[in-house]
Amino acid sequence: MAANMYRVGDYVYFENSSSNPYMIRRIEELNKTANGNVEAKVVCLFRRRDISGNLNTLADSNAREFEEESKQPTLAEPQKHQLKHRELFLSRQFESLPATHIRGKCNVTLLNETDVLAGYLDKEDCFFYSLVFDPVQKTLLADQGEIRVGSKYQAEIPDKLAEVESDTRVQEKLETKVWDPDNQLKDPQIDQFLVVARAVGTFARALDCSSSIRQPSLHMSAAAASRDITLFHAMDTLQKNDYDLAKAMSTLVPQGGPVLCRDEMEEWSASEAMLFEEALEKYGKDFNDIRQDFLPWKSLASVVQFYYMWKTTDRYIQQKRLKAAEADSKLKQVYIPTYTKPNPNQIMVPGSKPGMNGAPGFQKGLSCEGCHTAQSPQWYAWGPSNMQCRLCASCWIYWKKYGGLKTPTQLEGAARAGSESGPRGHMTRQEVQGLSPFTRNEGRAKLLAKNRQTFILQTTKLTRIARRVCEDILQPRRAARRPYASINANAVKAECIIRLPKATKTPVKSKVIPRPSLAAIVKDLAISAPLKLKASRGPSTPINRNQASQPRVGQSLLGKRGFDSASGAPFPANGRPYTSGMRTTSQSVIKRQKVSQGEAPNPVVFVATKDTRALRKHLTQSEMRRAARKPHLLVRIKLPPPPRSLAMPLIPSSTSEPIVLED
């Protein structure tokens, strides 16, 4: 009875298709419709198979980083594969589903550093999540409700001082005193001063035009002046004036007029308060979304402070009572009987002999795709119908609950035992998802944003110098592995400015690499170059007037002939003759027509002029390399002075025409 009773807050399985895995949802409300049926308002949770391949890669990085930080024990390959099926992604998406589609309960917890990943595999119907998926924006973000449990969240307690040892810390830097209970004033005197502070606050609101509009009556002004911010200001004034009542009185009423202290309850207007209540009803206590969508002109601190002040008002108590009354009218729990209807994916009747593979429409000798067993009391069709794949009873239950198989298969993207796996570049999305997320040791990104337009970051000269001078502080290798970690660039640049005068005095260590001459390089290339036989060209084809109407086949489509067909008989480059069953190069080229460089449409050719070739002679080797690497920059050439006897035309020091460097 208790197993079939479902309450608000339970994580349950929902079935939307007889062949697809269950959907995992959290029940938020149970509502009874007009026709008597029960609908459940649920929060959606997504599996790895429900998100894109790019987000799966980001989730893999998150899982690898968690394994490194929490020092998880090493798992076997089947365990790593099954652990991906236990990971879920929370979302803010709600939907309504019929309660009759519930197929059971499960347990979903937030992952923290104290958890052991292998423990989830030992428990049935147990899942975990650490990231939040946005179905609209297609993003993955770290959950804001992370439980900070672990060694890095613990306080560092200093060692206890000895009896004769004194505390050398500066107390003023550690804490600030705001009130001294051992003062010379008595409690009745302090109470009288607080009454005076309230009276000054009421008078200040009467003088202020904006306050008089918001609190038109004297009672409202006095109630606003009696709030905590007025009392805090009065007690702070006593502390700053060493509990001298005369000085404190003069501080409350300076020459410019009485001091007016207002909190967020007075700063916010009635329309802003209504917007806040509407946003709180929609988003809950997600203050970032409340500020972004409803109150963008308010700061986040102002929204949070107003929330806690709003909870002390009668408005909050009234709304709390209304919600409690609505909750009493709604269903608290619902009983759903066990679903006993036969699954349409069954391919063998229960009355037949167990362990037999013979079934109408299926080949004999097929085994389970999950565990490769050949005997099962019940078989289920799985995958595409043309593949004729099947699952045993236990693997079918695993598929429905966890959205995968116990071992990687061909349909899930990984090769079965004994077959070779292809390269990573030719894998499908399911094959990439089949790889384990706990086998590599790269870093993860805490915040995983959506794809955006490409942008380029250009560093300054000081930044490039700081990378070399302050390499011990910057730690570029560690920063490259963790690009999401913030770097204090101002501190690095400040340290670079301090070290820069000292770094210029130290000689730069350079390693001279002997380079061979150009003649030696050409000689080595000529020796190592393979010999190529020249292909004999066929007789020229005469031009026929009717050639335009005839179909163009054969040599006109092929362009340049390869070496394989140059001698007339097919002969491959490795020296082995072709067999009758092999396809020659000339046969395959007809299907893959290649356009040669000579037949390329509208070629763009840069021809060097006589003046350009003369200018090249004045370029040094380093300038030639720089011009080849950065062709968009102008080339500065220093020309030698011309002889006096010959009158040569003046050549400009820079030219805008393209410089063509011939290899």
* Residue 230: how many other CB atoms lie within 10 Å: 23
Is 345 within 8 Å of 384 (Cβ atoms)?
A: no
pLDDT at residue 574 greater than cutoff 50: no
pLDDT at residue 594 greater than cutoff 80: no
Ranking 68-77, 368-377, 581-590, 595-604 by mean pLDDT, the lowest is 581-590
Distance (Å, whole) CA 357 – CA 376: 9
% of residues, the chain, pLDDT over 90: 14
At 93, which helix (H) or strand (E)?
Answer: strand 87-98
What pLDDT is attached to residue 488? 80
Q: What is the mean pLDDT of residues 395-415?
A: 77
Q: Which of 45-49, 77-81, 146-150, 593-597 has the highest mean pLDDT?
A: 45-49
DSSP type of residue 636: B
Q: What is the mean pLDDT of residues 551-568?
A: 43
With b meaning 16 or more CB within 10 Å and e meaning fewer, what string describes 442-459?
Answer: ebbeeebeeeeeeeeeee
Amino acid at 347: I
What pLDDT is attached to residue 578? 44
Distance (Å, whole) CA 455 – CA 447: 19
Distance (Å, whole) CA 29 – CA 9: 8
Q: What is the mean pLDDT of residues 562-590?
A: 43
| pTM for this entry | 0.47
Sole residue written with tokens 């026709």: 35
> What is the pLDDT of the chain when averaged over all its residues?
75
Q: What is the mean pLDDT of residues 603-610?
A: 73
pLDDT at residue 85 greater than cutoff 90: yes
Distance (Å, whole) CA 441 – CA 424: 18
In angstroms, how far is CA 615 from the centroid of its own chain?
Answer: 52
First to last CA, the chain: 85
| pLDDT, tens digit, 9 for 90 and up, residues 228-279 | 888 888 899 998 898 998 898 888 888 878 888 888 877 888 888 899 999 9
What pLDDT is attached to residue 441? 39
Per-residue confidence at 307, pLDDT binned at 50, 70, 90? very high
| pLDDT, tens digit, 9 for 90 and up, residues 86-131 | 999 999 889 999 999 999 999 999 888 788 888 899 899 999 998 9
What pLDDT is attached to residue 643? 62
- DSSP state letters, 121-156: HHSTTEEEEEEEEETTTTEEEE-TT----SGGGS--
Distance (Å, whole) CA 392 – CA 370: 8
Distance (Å, whole) CA 465 – CA 462: 5
Distance (Å, whole) CA 630 – CA 436: 43
With b meaning 16 or more CB within 10 Å and e meaning fewer, what string describes 620-641?
Answer: eeeeeeebeeeeeeebebeeee
% of residues, the chain, pLDDT over 70: 71
Sole residue written with tokens 């660039």: 489
Among candidates 610, 560, 611, which has minimal Cα distance to 589? 560
Is 589 within 8 Å of 562 (Cβ atoms)?
A: yes
Distance (Å, whole) CA 413 – CA 436: 12
The tokens describing 364, both together, are: 């004999």
In angstroms, how far is CA 353 from the centroid of its own chain?
Answer: 52
Q: What is the mean pLDDT of residues 183-211?
A: 85
What pLDDT is attached to residue 622? 86
What phi and psi, each to the nearest 5 degrees, are found at residue 525?
-70, -35
What pLDDT is attached to residue 46? 95
pLDDT at residue 314 greater than cutoff 70: yes
What phi and psi, each to the nearest 5 degrees, are found at residue 23?
-90, 140
What pLDDT is attached to residue 90? 92
Q: What domains does the chain contain, in order, with CATH numbers? A: 5-142 (2.30.30.490), 187-262 (4.10.1240.50), 270-329 (1.10.10.60), 342-347+369-407 (no CATH), 461-504 (no CATH)
- Helix (H/G/I), strand (E/B), else coil: 292: helix
Between 24 and 348, residue with greater pLDDT: 24
What phi and psi, each to the nearest 5 degrees, are found at residue 179?
-160, 135
Distance (Å, whole) CA 52 – CA 263: 47
Sole residue written with tokens 């410089």: 659
Q: What is the mean pLDDT of residues 545-551?
A: 43
